[in-house]
């Protein structure tokens, strides 16, 4: 029992260190339980579209477990640093390394038991409340039945048992490999003055610059998906390298500025920072990365959630949207399409729809490789078997041919075109070619680039770049491509009729009309109407899926952002606490030689202001350069309003900066109280 008693005494005497640590572990446990509970929730499982929410929650659970491991491991290092002196004293008094290991085992067991039990209890207590928040976000009816997910309890217990086991192994390793003298003097050893590693700092800046270049030069959403994670890893590595070496260089430069350095409020602060900047830089980089993650996550998910109506209107421009692919290009003749249109209009009007604001045009789509000289290869076999897959992806385009007659009618224009001429509209990428030459088709000279086109259906969710080509004669323009109709691959041509309209009905009646109109279309004889495939979607019919996806992402963004903010605050807290105790003796000596409390306050402010707001500045810079990349990713969710995303991002940055200043005010007072000897452990 002596080891258990010593463990409890150690936790009690170091409560300023252990209390935030236990609170953090408990919070991580509670949040992980809540996310896991929602994943197993029957309410979410049984609701329409619940699988989307559950997939998002599985991702969130993985992120929480991974982050909890890293963060608890990181914060535990502060505890070990402060406890080494105590362990060294025990060692001098006769305890062996085995005895010290048993004390560490007891301390870890106690903190783990308290943290996991308290975390699961709090998680159970707030799990239903959190479920109600999620259901309210996605606008679903709520159920007030309370339950405990024992599967989530088991999952969370095993996850955090493994995490605490890792921290125990690390603690035993540090104590076991240190001599009694080193343990006793661990707090006074400090760090050797680090050298300014210009190569490391330059490499970090190069990595960050390369990531910024990737972010601002991405033109395709498909490229943005592949580049996003690469850019994130480059920014993380570059930030750590830059702040670890760059902070040392800043201190060295400040020491060379005699007018700045040899002042009472700067001399002590710069000198003390220079001796611990290696560790300090890592802490600042961690705060910067967490801040950037919070800002990117909360700004993007907030934009999706509050811009859901905008995205829904982009994906479904009309309340009813149909896309019918015909068996061949002759199916696009008005003699074939008129009976279909009469069936849709007649059935809709019978159900009370007004059939207004109609969009009605024909098009033929085909995929192909677009080369720099304007040559287009639409041979499916050529690029399905290509060895240069990366090059194929970059050159792959979708082409949509639309007759001039339909364009003028839908867009209320009076444009004219000659033979071999076309007007073009780019989707997901700007058009740089002035002429397109289809190997299996005709040559088209682009005489005008369009600013807008009524894209709808699959065109709105294309990951690949696309070009809409308005041509004088549709059959003539795609005549050479007709042979591709027999391909069962991406390159076959799709003669498609786009038809959409607004109904003037309330949401419930729109939902009903969508279902019954689809049944009517599905019952038509495909051969009689030359139909190859058909799809019909309603805006209200799809609203639920949009709200569940965007609402689920917004909810997960809130949970993870709150966790990351708490983690950043705790890193700042421990940073101020540990540095305060390290600087206490230094400032004590300075007081003996005449330094006043006012001078100490000025020196502390100088030190904190020199480095404290560096992570916030870097995070804001990372966010600014990430904006073009995230904006491209937003288009995958049909959100194309850049100004709206910009406003939301600016608001999130402002709110976060205010919170950051508040944390600075609180922790600077804590640091000052420790340094002037106002508070003791």
559-600 residue pLDDT tens: 878 877 877 777 777 777 766 666 676 667 666 766 666 766
- At residue 425 the predicted structure's pLDDT band, cuts being 50, 70 and 90, is very high
Q: How far apart are CA 349 and CA 355, in angstroms?
A: 7
- Residue 387, pLDDT above cutoff 60: no
- Residue 423, pLDDT above cutoff 90: yes
pLDDT in the model for residue 404:
93
Enclosing H/E stretch for 495: strand 494-502
pLDDT in the model for residue 488:
38
Choose among 325, 324, 369, 637: nearest CA to 490. Answer: 369
* 199 contacts: CB under 8 Å, gap ≥ 6: none
* Alpha helices by DSSP H, 442-538: 474-478, 507-522
Cβ atoms of residues 454 and 317 within 8 Å? yes
- At residue 311 the predicted structure's pLDDT band, cuts being 50, 70 and 90, is confident
Q: Look at 168 and 86; give whichever has higher pLDDT.
A: 168
Give the tokens for residue 176: 């076991």
The average pLDDT across 227-235 equals 82
pLDDT in the model for residue 491:
41
Q: How far apart are CA 306 and CA 434, in angstroms?
A: 39
Give the tokens for residue 488: 């069962």
Question: Bridge-partner residues for 364, per DSSP?
Answer: 401, 495
Three-state DSSP class for residue 554 = helix
> What are the angstrom distances between the C-alpha of 617 and each of 231, 287, 463, 535, 624?
19, 11, 34, 49, 11
- Residue 636, pLDDT above cutoff 90: no
Q: Percentages helix, strand, coil for the chain, rounded to the nearest 5?
A: 70, 10, 20
- At residue 142 the predicted structure's pLDDT band, cuts being 50, 70 and 90, is low
- Residue 484, pLDDT above cutoff 60: no
pLDDT in the model for residue 381:
56
pLDDT in the model for residue 469:
92
* 628 contacts: CB under 8 Å, gap ≥ 6: 215, 216, 218
pLDDT in the model for residue 276:
56
Cβ atoms of residues 393 and 553 within 8 Å? no
Percent of the chain with pLDDT over 90: 12
Percent of the chain with pLDDT over 70: 79
- At residue 143 the predicted structure's pLDDT band, cuts being 50, 70 and 90, is low
The average pLDDT across 485-507 equals 73
Choice among 34-38, 344-348, 607-611, 646-650 with the minimum mean pLDDT:
607-611
pLDDT in the model for residue 485:
42
Taking the model in full, what pTM does it have?
0.72
Choose among 604, 568, 606: nearest CA to 584. Answer: 604
pLDDT in the model for residue 133:
79
* 596 contacts: CB under 8 Å, gap ≥ 6: none
Q: Look at 364 and 7; give whichever has higher pLDDT.
A: 364
- Residue 221, pLDDT above cutoff 80: no
How crowded is residue 216: how many other Cβ atoms within 10 Å of its Cβ? 13
Query: What is the gyration radius of the CA atoms in the chain, in angstroms?
Result: 32
- Residue 442, pLDDT above cutoff 90: no
Cβ atoms of residues 143 and 180 within 8 Å? no
Query: Strand 320-326 to strand 494-502: parallel, antiparallel, or no bridges (unpaired)?
Result: antiparallel
Mean pLDDT of the chain: 79
The average pLDDT across 425-452 equals 85
Choose among 396, 414, 395: nearest CA to 404. Answer: 414
pLDDT in the model for residue 678:
45
pLDDT in the model for residue 290:
82
- Using one digit for the tens of pLDDT, what is the confidence trace for 180-216? 666 666 555 544 444 556 777 788 889 889 989 888 8
* 611 contacts: CB under 8 Å, gap ≥ 6: 247, 273, 280, 284
pLDDT in the model for residue 120:
92
Task: Please report, for the chain, the start and end positions of each structural domain, with discontinuous segments joined by +.
Answer: 1-189, 192-318+540-681, 319-539
Three-state DSSP class for residue 145 = coil
Q: How far apart are CA 245 and CA 302, in angstroms?
A: 35
Cβ atoms of residues 311 and 543 within 8 Å? no
* 345 contacts: CB under 8 Å, gap ≥ 6: 355
- Residue 117, pLDDT above cutoff 90: yes
Identify the top-confidence range among 384-388, 539-543, 650-654: 650-654
* 342 contacts: CB under 8 Å, gap ≥ 6: none
Q: How far apart are CA 443 and CA 618, in angstroms?
A: 50
Identify the top-confidence range among 251-255, 273-277, 311-315, 344-348: 344-348
The average pLDDT across 251-259 equals 73
Q: How far apart are CA 392 and CA 450, in angstroms?
A: 26
């Amino acid at each position: 029992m002596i080891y258990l008693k010593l463990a409890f005494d150690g936790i009690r005497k170091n409560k300023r260190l252990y209390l935030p640590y236990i609170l953090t572990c408990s919070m991580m446990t509670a949040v992980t339980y809540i996310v896991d509970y929602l994943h197993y929730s029957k309410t979410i499982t049984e609701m329409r579209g619940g699988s989307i929410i559950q997939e998002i929650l599985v991702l969130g659970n993985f992120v929480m477990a991974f982050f909890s491991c890293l963060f608890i491991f990181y914060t535990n290092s502060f505890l070990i640093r402060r406890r080494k002196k105590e362990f060294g004293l025990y060692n001098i008094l006769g305890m062996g390394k085995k005895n010290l290991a048993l004390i560490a085992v007891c301390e870890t067991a106690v903190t783990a038991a308290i943290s996991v039990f308290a975390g699961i209890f709090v998680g159970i207590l707030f799990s239903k409340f959190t479920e109600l928040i999620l259901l309210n976000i996605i606008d679903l009816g709520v159920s007030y039945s309370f339950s405990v997910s024992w599967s989530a309890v088991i999952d969370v217990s095993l996850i955090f048992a493994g995490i605490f086991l890792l921290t125990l192994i690390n603690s035993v390793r540090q104590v076991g490999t240190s001599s009694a003298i080193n343990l006793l003097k661990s707090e006074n050893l400090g760090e050797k003055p680090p050298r300014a590693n210009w190569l490391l700092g330059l490499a970090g800046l190069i990595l960050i610059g390369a990531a910024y270049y990737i972010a601002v030069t991405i033109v395709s959403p498909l490229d943005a998906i592949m580049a996003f994670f690469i850019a994130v890893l480059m920014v993380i590595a570059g930030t750590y390298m830059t702040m670890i070496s760059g902070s040392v260089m800043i201190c060295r430069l400040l020491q060379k500025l005699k007018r700045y350095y040899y002042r009472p409020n700067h001399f002590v602060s710069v000198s003390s920072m220079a001796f611990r900047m290696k560790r300090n830089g890592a802490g600042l980089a961690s705060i910067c990365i967490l801040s950037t993650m919070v800002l990117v996550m909360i700004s993007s998910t907030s934009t999706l959630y509050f811009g859901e109506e905008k995205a829904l209107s982009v994906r479904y421009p009309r309340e009813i949207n149909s896309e019918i692919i015909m068996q061949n290009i002759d199916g696009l003749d008005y003699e074939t399409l008129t009976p279909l249109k009469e069936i849709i209009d007649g059935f809709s009007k019978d159900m009370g729809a007004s059939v207004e604001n109609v969009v009605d045009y024909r098009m033929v789509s085909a995929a192909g490789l677009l080369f720099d000289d304007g040559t287009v290869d639409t041979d499916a076999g050529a690029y399905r078997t290509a060895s240069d897959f990366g090059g194929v992806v970059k050159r792959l385009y979708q082409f949509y041919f639309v007759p001039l007659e339909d364009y003028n009618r839908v867009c209320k224009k009076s444009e004219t075109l000659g033979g071999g001429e076309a007007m073009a509209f780019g989707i997901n990428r700007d058009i740089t070619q002035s002429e397109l030459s289809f190997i299996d088709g005709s040559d088209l000279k682009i005489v005008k680039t369009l600013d807008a086109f009524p894209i709808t259906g699959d065109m709105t969710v294309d990951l690949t770049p696309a070009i809409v080509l308005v041509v004088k004669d549709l059959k003539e323009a795609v005549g050479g491509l007709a042979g591709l109709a027999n391909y069962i691959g991406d390159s076959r041509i799709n003669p498609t009729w786009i038809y959409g309209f607004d109904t003037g009905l309330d949401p419930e009646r729109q939902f009903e009309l969508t279902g019954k109109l689809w049944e009517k279309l599905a019952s038509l004889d495909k051969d009689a109407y030359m139909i190859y495939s058909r799809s019909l979607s309603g805006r209200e019919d799809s609203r639920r899926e949009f709200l569940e996806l965007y609402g689920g992402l917004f909810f997960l963004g809130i949970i993870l952002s709150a966790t990351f903010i708490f983690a950043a605050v705790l890193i700042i807290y421990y940073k101020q606490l540990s540095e305060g105790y390290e600087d206490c003796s230094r400032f004590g000596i300075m007081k003996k030689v005449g330094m006043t409390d006012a001078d100490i306050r000025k020196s502390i402010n100088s030190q904190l202001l020199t480095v404290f707001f560096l992570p916030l500045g870097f995070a804001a810079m990372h966010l600014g350069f990430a904006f073009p990349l995230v904006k491209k990713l937003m288009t995958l969710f049909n959100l194309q309003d850049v100004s709206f995303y910009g406003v939301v991002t600016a608001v999130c940055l402002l709110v976060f900066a205010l919170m950051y200043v508040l944390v600075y005010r609180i922790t600077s007072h804590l640091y000052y109280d420790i340094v002037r000897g106002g508070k003791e452990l």
